Amino acid sequence: MRGPGRLPAALIWAGLGLALGLPLIAAADSPLLAYRRPVYIAAGFAGVVGLMLLAVQPLLAAGLLPGLSPRQSRRLHRFAGAALVLAVIGHVVGLWITSPPDVIDVLLLRSPTPFSIWGVLAMWALFASATLAVLRRRLASRLWRRAHRGLALVIVAGTVAHALLIQGTMEPVSKAGLSILAGLAVLWAVAGRNSAR
């Protein structure tokens, strides 16, 4: 017979699965994808996957997901971080293939669209965070933690602003819900870690 602790854990995982799965399903059904090139669609879905990973990353970093040991959470956090970097690269490269001038304007901060600025800010913060993760053993532990957490806040804030301002692949309501989840997750993780020290 199952213990009383199993049901809440199952509900947490089911809720997380719904929170991540519904935006993906809604995006797949988007009428905005009609007549789009496959590369553009793939780039859009790379962005969707990136936002999904951002909602999970803080929960893994703080060990907040039930049924995972601290070691498993850290390992999955590193794996998801690498997947997030690949998703962002796929997003940018796919958009580059469909429209190089637009991507150049975005990277040079010349784009007139505000969502582009937020996306670039989040992208560079993500690359800085990934670089810090690679160099972790060479840096002072306290400095590394503060920098990594600060960059996590910038990454999530920039990505959420980017996602909410753009009208693209994602359906608005599920996108807002996933964005709220990512924001709350990073705030909960950072606040919890800071109060524990």
Averaged confidence pLDDT in the chain: 89
CA distances (Å), 2 to each of 28, 69, 145, in order?
37, 20, 38
* Model confidence pLDDT, tens digit, residues 17-63: 999 999 999 999 988 888 889 999 999 999 999 999 999 999 999 99
Task: Specify the residue for token string 């997003």.
Answer: 91
pLDDT at 190 over 90: no
- Predicted confidence (pLDDT) per residue in 87-113, tens digit: 999 999 999 999 999 899 999 988 888
Alpha-carbon distance of 149 to 194, in angstroms, equals 10
Q: Where are the domains of the chain?
A: 7-195
Q: What percent of the chain has pLDDT over 90?
A: 68
Catalogue the long-range contacts made by 123-128 (C-beta closer than 8 Å, 24 or more residues apart): 123/88, 123/92, 123/158, 125/151, 125/154, 125/155, 125/158, 126/84, 126/85, 126/88, 126/151, 126/155, 127/85
Tell me the per-residue pLDDT of 111-168, one tens digit each, with 9 for 90 and over: 888 899 999 999 999 999 999 988 888 777 888 889 999 999 999 999 999 999 998 8
CA 44 to chain centre: 14
* pLDDT for position 17: 94
What CATH number was assigned to the domain covering residues 7-195?
A: 1.20.950
2: pLDDT strictly greater than 60: no
Residue 7 has pLDDT above 70, yes or no: no
